[in-house]
Structure 1
Amino acid sequence: MSDLMRSRTYSNAVTDENAQVTDSSNGNKPARRAKTMAGASCVEAPRRELAEVQNWQAQASQDDTKLPVLASTQHSPASQTQPHSQEEPQRKKQKIYTSDDEQDQDTKEPQEPSVQNVASRSRLFGESLDEREEKDVCMVVEYSEDIFEHLYQRERQICSSYNYVKSKESPKYLRPSLRAILIDWLIEVHLKFQLLPETLYLAINIMDRFMAKRKVSMAKLQLLAVSSLLIAAKFEEINLPKLSQYAYITDGACTCQDIKEAEMYVLTTLNFDVGWPNPLNFLRRISKADDYDFKIRAVAKYFMEYAMCCPEFVDVIPSRISALATYCARASLGIKIRWNEASERYSGGIDPLNDLTFQTDCRTLIKEIHNPSTQLKALELKYKSRAADSVFDPAKVWCDVIVASNFEGLF
């Protein structure tokens, strides 16, 4: 039998659900293998509840480590005569994508940007910033201008039509405190499932757009929130939680059938229009002006996410929220050159010094962080953690100081 046929036969024996194993306690009598997703044997393994699983994505891949590593069909003469050592380290699994929140372990700790560095970067206007990325095929420099021109048009078409939590005369009016409770719960579930940041922002957008069109009763608010998260995860994620896990996380308030029906109703109401330009796309675009400084972007993510959860910015377009977050982040870090020609270009033409609406929104965001109109405890805990670089406390102190000084020196 050739090596290729032997490898295929061995692989089929490992992954076949109906493969038979020998029961040592009963002589040589064949016994049925316990069925698992990976085909590995886990007889009499205790079944754990969802609450006991801390990382469901890692749990889904634990069975893969039980499978033996198949040797290559091409061996050297030395490898054919000597068996493989049992202490040979297992092959490291390759990651499909890297989140913005993750840093390369081989890179050094990012240093705080100095005034001289920012001043040198401010001279890199126009096409010079794109020219440095021409060799990076992932940046698609030749199409980036057209892509973002489309996104700037798209964000105005698919944004919430009006602020339903501020228009008390509207029949779809919802108290800001109720929306804050929903979003705070979404943040907790999002952290529990360990989903991408884009998934959370898209879920908030779907929920806001739906409630701007339909009146939702108190009993159906949680169903709408979990259905919005399900739709967003299907659109953004690679590894998805199961439908039963969404139902479980609601503590019996929603069944799987309820979530499926709500999903179809939400998609029909929105005309299946889910392709929303995410604010993280514009934040990465603006970050090109400061050479992708990690510390600025970490603080900007907090301001951006708080604006997404704040009732004052329900109908504000994502590119403007990203510009607000970036400007506040630079100001809170004490960077003197907070905006330059490159920042104006890569933010879609926003000029904070001459845009009175931008200045008003910036003051509103700082006031909300200083004295919140709604409670967002899950968001605070999220950005107090080391995973988010503990940016909450410094940003909160800066907002308190700016409000106490009556916004002196902000613009």
Structure 2
Amino acid sequence: MEKIQKDINPSMRAILIDWLVEVAEEYRLVPDTLYLTVNYIDRYLSRNAMNRKQLQLLGVASIMIASKYEEICAPQVEEFCYITDNTYFKEEVLQMESTVLNFLKFEMTTPTIKCFLRRFVRAAQGIDEVPSLQLECLTNYTAELSLLEYSMLSYTPSLITTSSIFLAKFMLFPSTKPWNSTLQHYTQYQTSDLCACEKDLHHLCCNSPNSNLPTIKEKYNQHKYKYMAKKYCPSSIPQEFFHN
């Protein structure tokens, strides 16, 4: 994005995604819709220069496309206009939808973090006494935090997912090594592979209470997510946990 965009920076991208998390919660969209939305936005921004006034329009069009792809009953275009306080007309949203779809060449399927989360969390839950729902909610929380940070795009979705599970297990049981042969088998990652991504994700999680983008934290401060945003994150991870 930094090579293409002159009027949009990572902070603007983060604000947009924070707002889209709120939209997804408001309309009770499935998690896959949110992750696909962010994927479409990033793919579009990586090749098309945009004015900052169009950024929210891109976000609305992307979440509408992802909703049509993932949801049983996707919100209507009028509803997406409404959530922008009618900043954009229906015709503008539909035109942007067409532009994004044509740019993506209708390649809507992509392996997002959420795809890997389903399989990897099941593997993590089946091997020890980790409370299943707590682990799932905490892993989802740390994974969603990664969506806000532009620099996390340097890591593959599978690596971010694996690092999220590692961090969630560490936060739940700080004195126990989070990784083992079963997780290595299912994820195909050794702990040494996680080091850089894990440190960046850990930094995001430690700093989330001070973030000026509160939506994800507020979302995971609800009972249905077991108040996982309130879970204490130790200030450092023992280096020996990264030894294979």
Same-fold call, TM > 0.5? yes
CA distance in 2, matches of 1:309, 1:264: 26
From 319, 335, 360, give the equivalent of 2:158: 319
- Find out whether 1:376 has 2:213 as its counterpart: yes
Greater Rg over alpha carbons, structure: 1
- Find out whether 1:277 has 2:111 as its counterpart: yes
Question: How much does 1:206 deviate?
Answer: 0.5
Aligned pairs (5 A) from 1:112-151: none
Q: Report what 2:222 is aligned to.
A: 385
Q: Report what 1:342 is aligned to.
A: 182
Question: How much does 1:408 deviate?
Answer: 5.2
3-state SS in 2 of match to 1:276: coil
3-state SS in 2 of match to 1:258: helix
Question: How much does 1:410 deviate?
Answer: 4.7
From 156, 179, 182, give the equivalent of 2:13: 179
Aligned pairs (5 A) from 1:95-114: none
Q: Which has the higher contact order (CA 8 A, sep 6+)?
A: 2
The one-letter amino acid of 1:289's match is: A
CA distance in 2, matches of 1:363, 1:210: 28
The answer to whether the Cα contact below 8 Å between 1:202 and 1:278 also exists between their aligned partners in 2 is: yes
CA distance in 2, matches of 1:290, 1:311: 27
CA distance in 2, matches of 1:246, 1:278: 23
CA distance in 2, matches of 1:285, 1:317: 16
- The structure-2 alpha-carbon separation of the partners of 1:364 and 1:312, relative to structure 1 and needing over 3 Å to count, comes to same
The one-letter amino acid of 1:369's match is: C
Q: Report what 1:70 is aligned to.
A: none
The one-letter amino acid of 2:142's match is: F
Q: Report what 2:34 is aligned to.
A: 200
3-state SS in 2 of match to 1:384: coil
The one-letter amino acid of 1:327's match is: F
Question: How much does 1:172 deviate?
Answer: 2.1
Question: How much does 1:367 deviate?
Answer: 1.4
The one-letter amino acid of 1:389's match is: K
CA distance in 2, matches of 1:289, 1:247: 41
Q: Which runs of 5+ in 2 are unaligned?
A: 127-131
- Find out whether 1:359 has 2:195 as its counterpart: yes
From 91, 94, 105, give the equivalent of 1:260: 94
- Aligned-pair identity in percent equals 28
CA distance in 2, matches of 1:179, 1:374: 15
Question: How much does 1:295 deviate?
Answer: 1.9
CA distance in 2, matches of 1:317, 1:377: 25
Question: How much does 1:185 deviate?
Answer: 1.0
CA distance in 2, matches of 1:230, 1:315: 26
Question: How much does 1:311 deviate?
Answer: 1.8
CA distance in 1, matches of 2:104, 2:214: 30
3-state SS in 2 of match to 1:314: helix
Figure out how many residues of one structure are paired with residues of the other and give that number: 234
CA distance in 1, matches of 2:177, 2:199: 19
Question: How much does 1:171 deviate?
Answer: 3.0
Aligned pairs (5 A) from 1:66-81: none
The one-letter amino acid of 1:306's match is: L
Q: Please tell me the root mean square deviation across aligned C-alpha atoms, in Å.
A: 1.9
Q: Report what 1:96 is aligned to.
A: none
TM-score for the superposition, normalised by structure 1: 0.54
The one-letter amino acid of 2:196's match is: T
Question: How much does 1:289 deviate?
Answer: 2.4
CA distance in 1, matches of 2:125, 2:86: 48
Question: How much does 1:337 deviate?
Answer: 4.2
CA distance in 1, matches of 2:142, 2:82: 31
Q: Report what 1:398 is aligned to.
A: 233
Q: Report what 1:230 is aligned to.
A: 64
The one-letter amino acid of 2:170's match is: A
- Find out whether 1:250 has 2:84 as its counterpart: yes
Question: How much does 1:215 deviate?
Answer: 0.9
3-state SS in 2 of match to 1:214: coil
The one-letter amino acid of 1:342's match is: T
The one-letter amino acid of 2:4's match is: P
TM-score for the superposition, normalised by structure 2: 0.89
Question: How much does 1:376 deviate?
Answer: 2.0
| Larger helix percent | 2
CA distance in 2, matches of 1:222, 1:393: 30
- Find out whether 1:329 has 2:163 as its counterpart: no
3-state SS in 2 of match to 1:219: helix
From 45, 65, 74, give the equivalent of 1:211: 45
The one-letter amino acid of 1:171's match is: I
Q: Which runs of 5+ in 1 are unaligned?
A: 1-163
